[in-house]
Amino acid sequence: MELWIIYALLSAAFAALVAIFGKIGIQNIDSTLATTVRAIVMAFFLVSVSLMLGKAKLLSTIDNKTFMFIVLSGIAGALSWLFYFVALRSGPAGAVASLDRLSVVFVVLLAALFLGESLTWKTGIGVTLITAGALFMTLK
């Protein structure tokens, strides 16, 4: 199995924990404040990891274009977390998480449009199944 697949599966497993821990954690707190606390914890954790791995010294090697897209990614991520926690506060964790995973559909379409990635019949079937799954998970 290729290493990227293992990392992607680990990402999915930890994303599942975000939904469970987040749903429990936001019961008695404002979702915006919960998102802020989460971001602070993540920042401290990731700075620690970067320092331990000796990656912090590479910060000066990032060019302006790369830095701009990392910042834009950070802003998009912050907005995603904010809306996710707002939805998670009032919605069922499974339904919220399944709708959140529609991001895969958006990524496929945006990657084809902006990155020139190809859309194949397999991709089309996958996008259709993900969309159908999200709908089935949220319909009452």
Q: What is the pLDDT of residues 25-47, one digit of tens each?
A: 888 899 999 999 999 999 999 99
pLDDT of residue 56: 86
pLDDT of residue 139: 86
pLDDT of residue 111: 96
- Could you read off the pLDDT of 81-135 as tens digits, one per residue? 999 999 999 999 999 999 999 999 999 999 999 999 999 999 999 999 999 999 9
pLDDT of residue 101: 93
Candidates 84, 69, 46; CA nearest to 115 is 69
- How far apart (Å, rounded) are the C-alpha atoms in residues 47 and 44? 5
Q: How many CA atoms lie within 13 A of 80 on its CB side?
A: 14
- For residue 140, is pLDDT > 80? no
Q: For the chain, what are the domain ranges?
A: 3-91, 101-140
Which residues, at least 6 apart from 87, have a Cβ–Cβ distance to it below 8 Å?
A: 96, 99, 100
* Torsion over CA: 8, 9, 14, 17 (sign): positive
- Could you read off the pLDDT of 46-71 as tens digits, one per residue? 999 999 999 988 988 999 999 999 99
pLDDT of residue 1: 80
- Could you read off the pLDDT of 1-32 as tens digits, one per residue? 899 999 998 999 999 999 999 999 888 899 99
- How far apart (Å, rounded) are the C-alpha atoms in residues 104 and 127? 8
- How far apart (Å, rounded) are the C-alpha atoms in residues 108 and 3? 21
